[in-house]
Chains A and B, each alone.
Chain A
């Protein structure tokens, strides 16, 4: 018979302790770039040479990602009211409405029995020139497939979905993905005949998921990104500048 164990610690207490001790991987260091379809083979060849999984070759993946959001204010003005009231309502909402919460659900199409991945990604911090990578909050959770229905019933709305197909490499703690993004012509149907590539390029991402304050890894990433030049230029992509309309 087993010896008498210690009393179980409440789950929230052990999570709080893990957060305090900085062992929860909740930060993602990220660099991004892209290559044209015609150049991808050369890049893959280079990565095969540089990365850890030399013998087994790169791991392929084929994922379906859905992006959900929820906002704490949904309103519609049904009656005609004076402009100043509308302005006041908007002003009030503007002062209390935070950004909508966005969550991503990712599932493997090629391995149907794998858990789904639910992911929160925070606002990217670019930092100054001395910081080699983007830093963003990230919470990655494996869940059962019911998560899609669960989020929908919670009040989340699916904003968009897409298919990702590509290769994954490892180099120590770093993860390198080379993937092609496809848009889905039919909602919820990731079948090969109903998807279309969104561009003639591959997205290249170099990332590490780590607990807070592990900035040394960012330097390793910068060095690795240097080794991939000039095949691909991995950079800190500023999303804010991408969303601004051209002047």
Chain B
């Protein structure tokens, strides 16, 4: 368990998600990375029924990197979010809540190849919202360190090395108040949620950084 950061990679109009993944795979292979299986992160979103008052939103995540856990993030509708990490049977409990929290039927899946390169783990995934590819997400983990502030510069340089200038020099917004905190698996999930929210708000295929840096 190290520090993980997540980065969007711009979609190009004339390329499919699979083509971009293949293109980036070649780049990380050129660095010497070896593919070690694939990864999957999924998110299901539920909304509270109107009888409960202010609408609350519940995001439930699974990550193949932590296969025995369920990550749930609740947004209470007034700006407060409460996360909880639970055993896999939490999904069964959620079924019991189906009369008060209903699925919004917008399943998100991020899947793609997983690579290892010495102390780094790299994952390149296509983000699917209701089975439509909306963009490409790259996850990089530096395993020997657990404090973001101590390895951000190296991670940034590492990502810029194969993704180019789409990687900002400014730390991701999520870490701005967490530079010296101990990194936990939930921090990865929170970053995924931030990215998913951006993709959901965008209409059609999102091109946040439609530059020519590829």
B151 at the interface (CB under 8 A from A): no
Contact status B48-A154, CB under 8 Å: yes
Residue in A closest to B75 when the chains form the complex, CB atoms: A153
Q: What is the 8 Å Cβ interface bit string for chain A, positions 70-96, against chain B (1 contact, 0 not)?
A: 111111000000000000000000000
Residue in B closest to A146 when the chains form the complex, CB atoms: B84
Q: Which of B90-98, B170-178, B189-197 contacts A (4 or more CB under 8 A)?
A: B90-98
CB distance from A10 to the nearest CB of B (A): 6
User: Given that A2-B36, A8-B67, A139-B93 are contacting pairs, would A155 and B85 also be in contact in the complex, using a CB cutoff of 8 Å?
Assistant: no
B interface: dominant SS: strand
Q: A12-B91, A154-B74 are in contact. List 10 more A-B contacts (CB 8 A).
A: A2-B116, A5-B38, A11-B88, A26-B92, A72-B51, A141-B93, A146-B84, A153-B82, A154-B101, A155-B56
Interface residues in B36-70 (C-beta closer than 8 Å to A) = 36-40, 42, 48-49, 51-53, 56, 58, 62, 64, 67, 70
**B34 / chain A contacts, CB cutoff of 8 Å:** 1
**B89 / chain A contacts, CB cutoff of 8 Å:** 15, 24, 26, 139-141
Q: What is the 8 Å Cβ interface bit string for chain A, positions 142-153, against chain B (1 contact, 0 not)?
A: 111011011001
User: Given that A118-B93, A155-B48 are contacting pairs, would A142 and B86 also be in contact in the complex, using a CB cutoff of 8 Å?
Assistant: yes
Q: Contact residue range for chain B?
A: 35 or more
30 intermolecular pairs with C-beta atoms under 8 Å apart = A4-B36, A5-B37, A7-B37, A7-B40, A8-B37, A8-B40, A8-B67, A10-B42, A12-B62, A12-B91, A15-B91, A24-B89, A24-B92, A26-B92, A70-B52, A72-B99, A101-B97, A120-B93, A141-B90, A142-B86, A142-B87, A143-B84, A144-B85, A144-B86, A149-B82, A153-B56, A153-B80, A154-B101, A155-B53, A155-B56
B100 at the interface (CB under 8 A from A): yes
Residues of chain A having any CB pair with chain B under 8 Å:
1-2, 4-8, 10-12, 15, 19, 24, 26, 70-75, 98, 101, 103, 118, 120, 139-144, 146-147, 149-150, 153-155
Question: How distant is the Cα of A1 from the Cα of B115 in the complex, in angstroms?
Answer: 10
Contact status B82-A8, CB under 8 Å: no
CB distance from B108 to the nearest CB of A (A): 12
**A26 / chain B contacts, CB cutoff of 8 Å:** 89, 92
Contact status A155-B52, CB under 8 Å: yes
Contact status A4-B37, CB under 8 Å: yes
Contact status A150-B72, CB under 8 Å: yes
**B132 / chain A contacts, CB cutoff of 8 Å:** none
B36's contact among A1, A10, A75, by CB below 8 Å, is which? A1
Contact status A10-B82, CB under 8 Å: no
Contact status A10-B96, CB under 8 Å: no
A153's contact among B49, B76, B86, B91, by CB below 8 Å, is which? B76
B99's contact among A8, A101, A139, by CB below 8 Å, is which? A101
